[in-house]
Structure formats: C-alpha cells, structure tokens
Amino acid sequence: MLTEFLLKDKIAVVTGATKGIGRGMAQGLAGAGANIVIVSRNQHECDAVASELQDQGAVSFAYAADLRDLASIKELVGAVVNHFGRIDILVNNAGVAVTKAPEAMTEEEWNFVIDLNLKGAFFTAQQVGLQMIKQQYGKIINIGSIFGFVGDGNIVSYCVSKGGIIQMTKSLALAWARHNINVNVIAPGYIETELNKETINAEKVFTHLIRNTPLRRLGEVKDIVGAAVFLASAASDYMTGQSIVIDGGWVAH
C-alpha cells in the first residue's frame, strides 16, 4: 500500500458535505482513515451523513453552519477545535449557482452566489487557516470548476465566483507556504449527482455536454474522490497553488 496516501486520524472538515460531490469526498477521506466533520446548513442532513460514516467505521462529527456569515464560521471552527483539538484538512466545497441571462440577474441573485461561493469560501479558509498557522500544518482543498477557466453566458456569477476561487487559492498558497499549509483547487467538469441527474440527462443538454467532452461521458462523483485524497495526504506535500481539472477533457479544447 502507498502509505503516503493514508489519512489515519487526520481531522478533515468538509463543507457542503451532505450531497453530491461533497458527500462523496467525505466518504473518500473517511475511507482513507480521516475523521470527518460534516458541514452544511441543515443539522438533520449533517447528522444523517455523519451516522452513515460512523456505520462504516469512521469517526464523524456533524455541525450545521451558515458559511455566508463570519460569526457562524468562527463558531464552526471553534467547535471542531474544541472537539478534536485541531484541523488538518479543509475541503471548501459548499456552493450554489443561479442559471439566468446576465441582463436579467438581480442584485439578490448575484449576492446569493458570491456570498457563499467566494466570500464564504474565503472566510472559511481564513478561519481554518488561523488554526493551521498555530499548528504549522494544514491542507486546504478549494472546489472550483471548469467555469473558473471558461465562460458560460447563463451562469455569469458562478463563473466569476469560481475564477475568484482559483486566484484566491494561488494567493493563499503564497501567503501560507511558510506555515507548511498547502492550498490547492479541484476543478470539476460536469459531474452527475442526484441533484442534477434529471437536468443534465435531458436529451438536448446531454448531447451538448457529450459533444464538448472528449472522453464522451459525464463525470461521476467517484472521479473526484481520488484527487481529494491525494491533495489531503502527504503525497501532495510539494504541491501548492495548483488546480487539478477533472472534466473529461472539456477545457483542453
């Protein structure tokens, strides 16, 4: 076994962890040996996923937080440190999108996306980063998107937020390298989840996606998990400020 990929007894905070890619990454990190903090806005859903992980033999802690609110983020970090004593890994995954023509987007819709995807991601990284600086160790994995690299006219605010995530990652990587904190991005393409399954499998949408994906298939949640384990583990210790794009070749065009 490649022991550098093992996460035995590491403490990993995963935001947006009750559904889709976040849930899959939480399960993957738990499978590699990490103790998992499940974070979303819904305590009942957090409890359910934490219970699933515990049934599989993992140590898990459920905590509901509103990552658009700095006070809530501070309370989350304090609760995790109080419970486990440290934070080794942050998977900064929580995010939303609004699909709408840019000329029709409202201020409320713009703020809804930016407040969680960019502002929330930054302040979550900041508050966890303060703990990691004390430890002089940490792994931060920000979840970006192919739309941090390419545009889409109907999800402008989402594209802006994910482009910002990539630049935020580079900047934090430079700021915190001296503290032995690695900061990297996973940028998924179109990944099929329970939430989007119906939409992306509609005939016209599916045909468009497959035509633009050189590997000629949609991604699955399991396609993201290996990269998350890699970036959380000692195997990536000499890597920081980088983006791993997992998109079937979409941005290679």
10 Å Cβ neighbour count for 186? Answer: 23
Express as a percent the part of the chain with pLDDT over 70. Answer: 100
Instruction: Specify if 201 maps to a domain.
Output: no
The single residue of 63, 158, 190, 238 carrying the catalytic annotation is 158
Distance CA 93, CA 22 (A): 6
Nearest alpha-carbon partner for 118 in 98, 102, 96: 96
Average pLDDT over residues 224-239: 98
Give me the CATH number covering residue 13.
3.40.50.720
Q: Does the pLDDT of residue 194 top 90, yes or no?
A: no
Instruction: Answer left, alpha or beta for residue 245, where phi above 0 means left and psi between -120 and 50 means alpha.
Output: beta
Look at residue 37 and tell me if it is in a domain.
yes
**Pairwise CA distance, residues 248 & 188, whole Å:** 9
Residue 168 maps to a domain: yes
Are 43 and 62 spatial neighbours (Cβ–Cβ below 8 Å)? yes
Q: Where are the alpha helices (DSSP H) in the chain?
A: 20-31, 43-55, 70-84, 107-114, 121-135, 156-176, 197-200, 203-211, 222-232
Confidence band for 12, pLDDT divided at 50, 70 and 90: very high
Residue 195 confidence (pLDDT): 79
Per-residue pLDDT at 2 exceeds 90: no
Q: Which are the contacts of 159, defined by CB distance < 8 A and separation ≥ 6?
A: 145, 147, 148, 151, 152
- 1 pLDDT exceeds 80? no
Mean pLDDT of 187-210: 93
- Domain residue limits at 40: 3-192+221-245
- Kindly state whether residue 213 falls inside one of the protein's structural domains: no
Residue 216, in any domain of the structure: no
Question: DSSP code of 233?
Answer: S
Residue 206, in any domain of the structure? no
Q: If you average pLDDT over every residue of the chain, what do you get?
A: 97
Q: Which of 33, 89, 86, 39 has the alpha carbon at shortest distance from 56?
A: 33
Q: Is residue 133 part of a domain?
A: yes
Considering its fold, how many domains does the chain have in total? 1
The per-residue pLDDT for range 109-152, each reduced to its tens digit, is 999 999 999 999 999 999 999 999 999 999 999 999 999 999 99
Per-residue pLDDT averaged across 155-165, rounded? 98
Query: Would 147 be classed as within a structural domain?
Result: yes
Q: Is the pTM of this model over 0.95?
A: yes
pLDDT tens, position by position, 45-79? 999 999 999 999 999 999 999 999 999 999 999 99
Residue 63 annotated in active site: no
Q: Is the pLDDT of residue 16 over 80?
A: yes
